Amino acid sequence: MSPQTYVEYLSETVVKEEDIPQRHPVRLFADHWRELGRDGSIPVRRDFSPVKVPALLPYLVVHELIQTEQGPDLMTRLEGEFYVSLNGKTNRGHSRRRVMNEERFQMRLKETQDALETGIVRFSLVELLDSEKKYHKVFRAVFPFRSNGSQSEQVFVVLADENTSL
C-alpha cells in the first residue's frame, strides 16, 4: 500500500522563537512547556493537563515514538481540529510512515528523535497546501515530553496559521 499525503509541504524554514508573535498558539505552548519543565528539564507527560490550555488544543498533535518490526515509527495519539482540517481526515491511531511519503517520514522521525534526545524545541515556518489545495503559512514547533522519570517518547507538535492570535 502506498502512502497518501493529504498535506503537500512546499517549504520549511527554521525560525527562532522570538520570530513568532507572542499571542500565537506555538509561542503560548512554548511558555506552558517551559513552566511544566520547571527546572529546565524535559517535562513529564503526566504533568500536562489539557484543562490548563484548552484554547491551544485545536493546534496540538501528539506523536509517540514506537518500535516496530520495520524499525522506529511515529504513532499519532491525538490530533487537534486545525490539523485534521488541513489533512481532510484524522490520522489518529495510525503510523506516520503509512500516511506520508518515506522522505517526509524520515525527516519527521529524525526531528522527533533529535527533540527527544536533546530536549531542544525546534521552531519552523512551513508553507503547505491542505487537502483542498488551499495555501497556508504556519508556524510549527516540536516539544519533547518524558513518559516517565527518565525516558522521552512523545512529542507534542503545535501548528497554526501564522496570523493566528489567541
Q: Tens digits of per-residue pLDDT, 105-137?
A: 999 999 999 999 999 999 999 999 999 999 999
Overall pTM > 0.85: yes
Q: Average pLDDT for residues 42-69, to the nearest whole number?
A: 93
Which of 140 and 150 is assigned the larger pLDDT?
A: 140
83 contacts 106 by C-beta, under 8 angstroms: no
In whole numbers, what is the pLDDT of the chain averaged over residues? 91
The answer to whether residue 165 sits within a structural domain is no
Type of residue numbered 16: K
Q: Does 33 have pLDDT greater than 90?
A: yes
DSSP state letters, 77-138: EEE-HHHHHHHTS--TTSBHHHHS-HHHHHHHHHHHHHHHHH---EEEEEEEE-TT--EEEE
pLDDT for 41 equals 85
Beta bridge partners of 158: 60, 141
Residue 2 inside a domain? The answer is no
For residue 112, being part of any structural domain is answered with: yes
Across the range 37-45, mean pLDDT stands at 86
Q: Considering its fold, how many domains does the chain have in total?
A: 1
Instruction: Report yes or no on 118 lying in a domain.
Output: yes
3 in a structural domain = no
Provide the residue range defining the domain that includes 148: 8-160
Torsions phi, psi of 81, nearest 5? -60, -35
**Confidence label for 150 from pLDDT (cuts 50, 70 and 90):** low
- For 4-28, how does the pLDDT look when each residue is reduced to its tens digit (9 = 90+)? 557 899 999 999 999 999 999 999 9
State the pLDDT at residue 94.
85
Residue 34 belongs to a domain: yes
* Within a domain: 47: yes
The CATH code of the domain that includes 141 is: 3.30.450.20
Any domain includes 166: no
